[in-house]
Amino acid sequence: MGTPSDKKLINENGLRLDGRGDEELRPIKISTDILERADGSAFMEWGGNKILVAVYGPREAYPKHTQDIEKSVVKARYNMAAFSVDERKRPGPDRRSTEISKVISEALSAAVMVEQFPRTQIDVFIEVIQADAGTRIASLTAASVALASAGIPMRDMVVGCSAGKVEDRIVLDLSKDEDNFGQADLPMAVLSKNKQVVLIQMDGDLSKEEFARATDMIMKATDRIAEIQRKALSEKYKIENLSESQNG
């Protein structure tokens, strides 16, 4: 959370600064197969976030000591472009991107059938080219689509969303101002079918009741976001089936 401020985050009509109600998501768009040289890829726009994901693998894990004889190792690398934020970000890894890469790798590992590909690695390169709050859950949601578009066997999709507290109200999907000047931010991700939680972090404070309300809002929103993921993938397979039937 940013420094406390007098900035108003709820307007006189009880709406948020961008006109959204408490449980409204920002617009989300996902497309697949953006990159020719990746095994799978996705491009996600979520509010002002623009995120590109490229997936490679499963391929032999290298260096060899990183191999797991029982399963594939999912290696996500989250990177924010220097020009992705208002104040230029120093290029290269830092503590934040290392942490985000780790939590995303762990969340994706829960969805991928890693036990089918021992000694391999699956690389997930995440490039945030424009950041507008909520990039870790947007990246994870897009990465899941990119993995599926690479044809990597998965038990389920990972779908993420955040909720938080602004002016003592629990609201869904924080915007940049709400993230900076609000009271709490709770990014969370689940497996879309059985709702197993695969990522949960919290910045700021929430009471037990507020936490329950925030997680409830997120759970409901994940169904809507999972539908957008499904649409992106069904577009891909519709197009592939069409070209197969035209060729055959």
Instruction: Using CB under 6 A, list all residues that contact ligand UDP.
Output: 85, 89, 96, 131-136, 176, 179, 185, 187
Report in angstroms how near the CB of residue 12 gets to ligand UDP at its nearest: 27
> Rounded to an integer, what distance in angstroms lies between the CA atom of residue 110 and that of residue 55?
16
Report in angstroms how near the CB of residue 128 gets to ligand UDP at its nearest: 8
Residue 198's φ and ψ, nearest 5 degrees, are -115, -10
How would you label 97-130 residue by residue, b for 16+ Cβ within 10 Å and e otherwise? beebbebbbebbbbbbebeebebbbbbbbbbbeb
> Rounded to an integer, what distance in angstroms lies between the CA atom of residue 107 and that of residue 119?
19
161 vs 232 by CB, closer to ligand UDP: 161
Report in angstroms how near the CB of residue 230 gets to ligand UDP at its nearest: 23
> Rounded to an integer, what distance in angstroms lies between the CA atom of residue 72 and that of residue 120?
5
Report in angstroms how near the CB of residue 26 gets to ligand UDP at its nearest: 12
71 vs 165 by CB, closer to ligand UDP: 165
> Do 222 and 197 meet the contact criterion of CB atoms below 8 Å apart?
no
> Rounded to an integer, what distance in angstroms lies between the CA atom of residue 95 and that of residue 179?
19
91 vs 151 by CB, closer to ligand UDP: 91
> Rounded to an integer, what distance in angstroms lies between the CA atom of residue 136 and that of residue 126?
10
1 vs 219 by CB, closer to ligand UDP: 1
Report in angstroms how near the CB of residue 27 gets to ligand UDP at its nearest: 16
52 vs 61 by CB, closer to ligand UDP: 52
> Rounded to an integer, what distance in angstroms lies between the CA atom of residue 3 and that of residue 82?
23
> Rounded to an integer, what distance in angstroms lies between the CA atom of residue 66 and that of residue 210?
41
Report in angstroms how near the CB of residue 71 gets to ligand UDP at its nearest: 27
40 vs 134 by CB, closer to ligand UDP: 134
> Rounded to an integer, what distance in angstroms lies between the CA atom of residue 148 and that of residue 230?
10
